[in-house]
Amino acid sequence: MKDVARVAGVSPMTVSRVVSGEPGVSPGTAARVEQAVRKLGYQRNDNARNLRQKNLGTSTIALVVDDLANPFYALMARSVEDEAHRRGYVVLVGSTNDEPRREREVIAAFTARQVDGLIIVPTKGGHGFLKQPMEGGTQVVCVDRPAKGLAVDTVTVDNRAGAERAVAHLLGHGHTRIAYLGDRYDIWTQRERHLGYLDALAAHGLPEDPDLVRHGLRSHREARAALAGLRALDRPPTALFTSNDLITLGVLDGLDHPAPVAIVGFDDLPLAERLSPPLTVVSQDPVAIGGTAANLLFARIGGDRSAPRSVVLLTRLLVRGSGEFRAETTTEHPGHQR
């Protein structure tokens, strides 16, 4: 900046004014400055700028998700990025792998860089470490799951109702032995979806059969193994409810083709409608979720100090075929099997 000032024959202050588009510079001077800027290829150092202007922010937000490679979070990230870009903000991203320790590290790196706001998919760990940055003015919004003990805007979907609808759908087709395959039980969405599963069973007067419930499936492989275990039971399930996309993929991989059991999965997948049978799913809208979270965050950054809001978006049951086998064909007439 000093160099530009020298070349243009003005003071650094005038360069600052021109570069930042502030008024009060004569057109002639401005032109000379702009020429010097182009000649030297000068670009303002925004970090230095943000250091001085304490009242304005850094025009940087951060997004902390479980796993950026997961298409669900990738879509959310893109949606957040678009909202940020519209407003002249940039986005830092980090994946936690659902590890509280990595979450802490990543968020600390972000707050140390003075981000104006944070959109996080919180892990099961505590979030006391957010208190100080929040008092310092950093805004926080939770997405996908609430953070225990953290009173901030939160965007989730109706996991429990969505899961209940899925399982009720299977019950409506005559199934009574419906397995639940879920990820780690310490993940809020998984607990909610399991509760929805139980709700549906209870509404039909059915008790939970522990043999049919598998928690903690962290991978494609584990989901596949759990399915094998279920099918080896004396009275195997005639229908499956898979509680996230990864588990759905694993289960599909372990089944014959076409699948001999009914399946409904939570989360839509590309190509789901091209499978045979097409996959029935409970779908949520990651773009809407990300966009909503971003809008809440920018409202806060813009000065909104109202009480924290919880926004619950709705899931939809997409009936396509895989959940509509009648139970009779596999259980009530065992003689017909194999």
Tell me which stretch binds a second copy (CB under 8 A): 194-202, 225-233, 268-276, 325-333.
268-276
Per-residue CA distances from 287 to 66, 73, 309 (Å): 16, 9, 19
Minimum gap (Å) between residue 203 Cβ and a second copy: 32
Q: Is the Cβ–Cβ distance between 63 and 110 less than 8 Å? A: no
Residue 308: how many CB atoms within 10 A of its CB?
14
Q: Is 24 in the site for DNA (CB under 7 A)?
A: yes
The residues, ordered by sequence, that sit 6+ positions from 133 with a Cβ below 8 Å of its Cβ are 111, 118, 140
Among 150, 167, 269, 289, binds a second copy (CB under 8 A): 269
Judged by beta carbon, residue 11 or residue 20, the one nearer a second copy is 20
Q: Is 35 in the site for DNA (CB under 7 A)?
A: no
Distance from C-alpha of 75 to C-alpha of 82, rounded to nearest angstrom: 11
Judged by beta carbon, residue 16 or residue 123, the one nearer DNA is 16
Q: From the list a second copy, DNA, none, which binds 12 (C-beta under 5 to 8 Å, kind-based)?
A: DNA
Q: Is 51 in the site for DNA (CB under 7 A)?
A: yes
Of residues 37-76, those binding a second copy (CB under 8 A): 41-48, 50-51, 58-60, 67-71, 73-75
Judged by beta carbon, residue 50 or residue 176, the one nearer DNA is 50
The residues, ordered by sequence, that sit 6+ positions from 331 with a Cβ below 8 Å of its Cβ are 177, 238
Distance from C-alpha of 231 to C-alpha of 179, rounded to nearest angstrom: 10
Judged by beta carbon, residue 24 or residue 334, the one nearer DNA is 24
| 3-state secondary structure at position 280 | strand
Q: Is the Cβ–Cβ distance between 40 and 7 less than 8 Å? A: yes
Minimum gap (Å) between residue 309 Cβ and a second copy: 26
Q: From the list a second copy, DNA, none, which binds 301 (C-beta under 5 to 8 Å, kind-based)?
A: none
Q: Is 10 in the site for DNA (CB under 7 A)?
A: yes
Q: What tokens does 167 get?
A: 């399982």
Distance from C-alpha of 272 to C-alpha of 14, rounded to nearest angstrom: 60
Provide the angle, in degrees to the nearest 10, between the axes of the packed helices 220-231 and 245-254. 50
Site string for a second copy, 225-264 (x = CB under 8 A): ------------------------x--xx---x-------
Q: What tokens does 52 get?
A: 């001085």
Of residues 86-145, those binding a second copy (CB under 8 A): 88, 90-95, 102, 105-106, 108-114, 131-133, 135
Question: Which amino acid makes up residue 309?
Answer: R
Distance from C-alpha of 322 to C-alpha of 197, rounded to nearest angstrom: 18
Distance from C-alpha of 333 to C-alpha of 324, rounded to nearest angstrom: 18
Interacting residues with a second copy (CB under 8 A)? 41-48, 50-51, 58-60, 67-71, 73-75, 77-79, 81-82, 85, 88, 90-95, 102, 105-106, 108-114, 131-133, 135, 249, 252-253, 257, 269-272, 274-276
Interacting residues with DNA (CB under 7 A)? 1-2, 9-14, 16-17, 19-20, 23-26, 28-30, 44-45, 48-49, 51-54, 56
